[in-house]
């Protein structure tokens, strides 16, 4: 009995130590901070915040009906792993600091990170430039060849858009380093709490609710708009608002999609703010098991039609594995399905300059290689 007692005490000590270590880890700076005080008071006034958390406009279960977390975990642990590139992913590095300031251009940096220069303003969206997309640097690593940009390559940014606080969109290390280069941050309610913990001056953070309008500079207006998704950097979800954005400049209108399952919000946004010259839409990390929070192949065209968008830039793929499909499947499918659509689908390599005023610019199927 004495031996059993010692074993039990030892197990209890181990459990306690693991629990304390987990709590300590979750309280490190990289996890950010939950909204509090005046920020939380403002959040509680939002019609989208109900019973202690933000809610989607459409009913949005995390998993499809009939799918349990045990099934998801089993497939993650024991099913065949999705194909990842075995060679370096093709890329070309455009120098962002020497761009002609009169040109309207876009440079995709893999996954959901992209730089835009529009009517003289420099814009960055969801920058993840630290080589991984998780709180642990040795997990969710970027594919070889995709991590060609770092924060030293980024010029001074006029507008930084942050769609939500998931690790593959709001990267602690990247944002800490970009703080001195960033003039204004536009994001959903609550996300400023993370940024302030990371050293950002509150005066340059603009937080808003869905359908808030932000007048940035003369001729530049942003509207914060809904998506069908969720938020959270730890165990507690939906304490900060996930969003998409409408960006109107003197010469163009762009929809910045963030993460979203297909829903009625696209049609409402199209009616309120369309048409769009370009819709930047997620196209990757999907699965029938979580079809409500990420669009499935083909739904990008439905969303673009609802938005009244002329062209689509598919993002949210090409850099990290966060779902069970092969790394190149999203691009293969959207280009194949585009045969039936009148939309232009823009598929640049990572780092390739997209000339937004050139409707005739062509792009290769760079993912079709020995990878």
Q: What is the pLDDT, as a whole number, of residue 16?
A: 63
Q: What is the pLDDT, as a whole number, of residue 23?
A: 63
Q: In whole angstroms, how far apart are CA 212 and each of 41, 81, 163, 273, 308?
A: 17, 42, 14, 12, 21
pLDDT in tens, 205-221: 999 999 999 999 999 99
What is the C-alpha separation between 242 and 347, in angstroms, rounded? 25
Statement: residue 22 has pLDDT above 70:
no
* pLDDT class of 369 with cuts at 50, 70, 90: confident
Pairing of strands 105-108, 353-355: antiparallel
Please state the rounded mean pLDDT for residues 337-352: 92
Statement: residue 9 has pLDDT above 80:
no
**CATH number for the domain including 177?**
3.60.15.10
* Residue 193 maps to a domain: yes
Q: What is the pLDDT, as a whole number, of residue 279?
A: 98
* pLDDT class of 269 with cuts at 50, 70, 90: very high
Neighbours of 134 (CB within 10 A): 15
* Residue 5 maps to a domain: no
Statement: residue 77 has pLDDT above 90:
no
* Residue 31 maps to a domain: no
* Residue 44 maps to a domain: no
Statement: residue 42 has pLDDT above 90:
yes
pTM of the model: 0.94
Mean of the per-residue pLDDT values of the chain = 93
| Burial of 358: CB neighbours in 10 Å, binned 0-12, 13-18, 19+ | exposed
pLDDT in tens, 105-159: 999 999 999 999 999 999 999 999 999 999 998 899 999 999 999 999 999 999 9
* Residue 26 maps to a domain: no
Question: In which residue are the tokens 């530049």 written?
Answer: 220
* Residue 50 maps to a domain: no
Read off the tokens for 348: 């640049």
Q: Are 48 and 55 in contact (CB under 8 A)?
A: yes
Please state the rounded mean pLDDT for residues 70-80: 78
Statement: residue 6 has pLDDT above 60:
no
Q: Are 331 and 350 in contact (CB under 8 A)?
A: no
* Residue 61 maps to a domain: no
Structural domain boundaries, residue 167: 96-355
Read off the tokens for 6: 């010692």
Question: In which residue are the tokens 């990289």 written?
Answer: 30
What is the C-alpha separation between 103 and 108, in angstroms, rounded? 16
Looking at the structure of the chain, the number of domains it has is 1
Q: At what angle do helices 265-273 and 299-307 cross, to 10 degrees?
A: 30
* Residue 288 maps to a domain: yes
Q: Are 246 and 255 in contact (CB under 8 A)?
A: yes
Read off the tokens for 341: 């659509």
């Amino acid at each position: 009995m004495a031996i059993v007692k010692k074993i039990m005490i030892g197990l209890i000590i181990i459990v306690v130590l693991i629990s304390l270590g987990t709590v300590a880890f979750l309280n490190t700076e990289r996890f950010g901070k939950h909204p509090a005080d005046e920020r939380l008071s403002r959040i509680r006034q939002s019609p989208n915040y109900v019973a202690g958390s933000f809610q989607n406009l459409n009913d949005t279960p995390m998993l499809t009906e009939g799918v349990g977390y045990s099934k998801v975990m089993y497939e993650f642990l024991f099913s065949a792993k999705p194909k990842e590139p075995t060679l370096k992913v093709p890329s070309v590095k455009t120098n962002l600091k020497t761009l002609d300031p009169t040109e309207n251009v876009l440079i995709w940096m893999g996954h959901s990170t992209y730089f835009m220069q529009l009517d003289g303003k420099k814009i960055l969206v969801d920058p993840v430039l630290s080589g991984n997309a998780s709180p642990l640097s040795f997990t969710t690593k970027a594919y070889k060849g995709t991590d060609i940009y770092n924060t030293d390559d980024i010029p001074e940014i006029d507008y930084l858009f942050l769609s939500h606080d998931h690790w593959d969109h709001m990267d602690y290390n990247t944002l800490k380093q970009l703080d001195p280069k960033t003039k204004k941050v536009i994001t959903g309610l609550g996300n400023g709490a993370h940024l302030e913990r990371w050293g950002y001056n509150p005066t340059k953070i603009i937080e808003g609710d869905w359908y808030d309008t932000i007048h940035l500079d003369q001729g530049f207006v942003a509207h914060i708009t809904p998506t069908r998704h969720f938020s959270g950097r730890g165990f507690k979800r939906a304490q900060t608002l996930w969003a998409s954005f409408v960006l109107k400049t003197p010469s163009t209108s762009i929809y910045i999609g963030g993460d979203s399952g297909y829903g009625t919000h696209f049609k409402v946004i199209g009616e309120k703010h369309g048409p769009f010259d370009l819709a930047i839409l997620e196209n990757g990390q999907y699965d029938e098991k979580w079809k409500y929070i990420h669009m499935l192949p083909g739904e990008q065209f439905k969303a673009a039609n609802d938005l009244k968008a002329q062209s689509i830039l598919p993002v949210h793929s090409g850099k990290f594995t966060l779902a069970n499909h092969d790394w190149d499947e999203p691009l293969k499918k959207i280009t194949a399905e585009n045969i039936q659509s009148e939309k232009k689908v823009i598929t640049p390599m990572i780092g390739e300059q997209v000339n937004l005023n050139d409707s005739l610019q062509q792009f290769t199927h760079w993912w079709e290689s020995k990878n």
